[in-house]
Structures are given as C-alpha cells and as structure tokens.
Amino acid sequence: MSIAERLNQIRSRIAEAAAKVGRDPRTVRLVAVSKTRPPGDVVAACRAGQVIFGENYVQELTVKAAGIAEPLEWHFIGHLQSNKVKYLAGLVTLIHSVDRLSLAEEISRQWGRLGKSCDVLVQVNIAGEATKSGTTETGALRLVRDIALLPNVRVRGLMTMPPFFDDPEAARPYFAELKRLSDLIAGEDIPGVEMGELSMGMSGDFEAAIQEGATLVRVGTAIFGER
C-alpha cells in the first residue's frame, strides 16, 4: 500500500472513532511521525494532504526540514535537551514534550529572541515508568503554573505516552487519566493557559485515545511502515 492509501485509511479510522463517541472528526488532528523516514516519504504524505509532521530528534529534523520545500508544519515530540532548543526556534509550531521548567525557560528565551511565543504541551508520565520522560501526575499542575509565568511560552495542553501494550484497550485508562488531569488543570483558570489539546494515541491505540478525548494523535508506523 502507498503512503497516500495508508493515510486515507487512517483518516477514515479517525473519523469512525470520533463518530462512535459523538465527536466532530475535525477536532482530531493527525501528526504524521516521520522519524527515521527519508524526506521523500514526507513529501509523498504532503502531496496526499498531510500537513503536520512529528519528529523526535533535533539533528534529524533540521536536516530533513532544510531539504523539503512543501508547506508543512513541524511538531517536536521527542525528549529534548535544553542546549538543542535553539535549533528548533522558529522551525516548529508545537513542542509536545516539555517535562521540566528549565526546558520551558530555555524555550521562552530562544523564542523571545525572535519576538515570538512557542506553543507547548506538558508531557505527563501517567504510569510513572522509570524509562519514560514526563512530569509526574502530581507535578503537572505546578509545572503548568510555573510555565505560565514565562513570557514567550504558551501552554496548550498535555501529552502522554502510556506503557506499551499489545492490546490497545489496555492503554485506555491512561488516556482517560490524562483527560481527567487536563480538565482538573483547566478548572484552575491559570492566566495564559489554554488546555485545549490532548496529544495521545499512536499507531496501535489512536482509536481508544480519540474516544477518550485526544485532539492530536501521533501516528508513524501505520502511515510509513515499520521503522
């Protein structure tokens, strides 16, 4: 199957999952995760109407972006070291993986130099896995409050990566928990914070994530094939 055909399939599956819970499918945006894939794959997806692409590695993203002329939007979704933030400034429209204040401070500094603000999501490690990035569930509200005080960063929601399961239903409680946490933080009415986005769900479990409220699903393998 071609990338265009796989994209069409994913779009139908997104629409069906949204319809099942009475959601407008336009409230779910697809992030095509293009890590390890060549620029030609990104261009093919672009020509098939895909707009948002997610990358995990700064070096890979900057090289790839420089070689692509198509109009598209880059999101950064991987673990991010503060000393690499400067390479992303002005290049990405959303960073999904902010998990500590020092990182948000550096993002604010670098976007501030451009006279702009960066939209970010706070990554939460719902399951508390030692191997995964993300703030703790109890630390999330505090982190959002602290980031809200920075001049050039805007919190737009939360992101999570649940533990890996073969059964997509097994991830559902973690998605529901992120939604609950997001509602709780939204209820605090922190100035400058808009908790509109929930980035959750990947190739194996994006339908369950949509049913639990995802607004951004990050899908790689199901579009581009096995890495």
Which of 35, 109, 145, 180 forms a contact with ligand PLP (CB under 6 A)? 35
CA distances from 189 to 125, 129, 182 (A): 23, 29, 12
Q: Does 29 help bind ligand PLP (rule: CB under 6 A)?
A: no
Q: Does 17 help bind ligand PLP (rule: CB under 6 A)?
A: no
Select from 49, 84, 29, 86 the least CA-distant residue to 206: 29
- Cβ burial of 176 (10 Å; 0-12, 13-18, 19+) is middle
Which of 6, 30, 46, 56 forms a contact with ligand PLP (CB under 6 A)? 56
Strands (E), 2-114: 29-33, 52-55, 73-76, 92-98
Sign, Cα dihedral of 162, 218, 79, 146: negative
**Nearer to ligand PLP among residue 108 and residue 199 (C-beta):** 199
Amino acid at the residue 206: F
Residue 75 backbone phi and psi in degrees, to 5: -115, 140
Which of 144, 202, 214, 216 forms a contact with ligand PLP (CB under 6 A)? 202
**Shortest spacing between CB 102 and ligand PLP, in angstroms:** 20
Q: Stretches 1-9, 139-147, 181-189, 198-206: which one binds ligand PLP (CB under 6 A)? A: 198-206
33 with 75: CB under 8 angstroms?
Answer: no
**Shortest spacing between CB 203 and ligand PLP, in angstroms:** 3
**Shortest spacing between CB 113 and ligand PLP, in angstroms:** 27
Which of 8, 82, 117, 203 forms a contact with ligand PLP (CB under 6 A)? 203
180 with 172: CB under 8 angstroms?
Answer: no
**Nearer to ligand PLP among residue 84 and residue 145 (C-beta):** 84
Q: Stretches 108-116, 149-157, 172-180, 199-207: which one binds ligand PLP (CB under 6 A)? A: 199-207
Q: Does 33 help bind ligand PLP (rule: CB under 6 A)?
A: yes
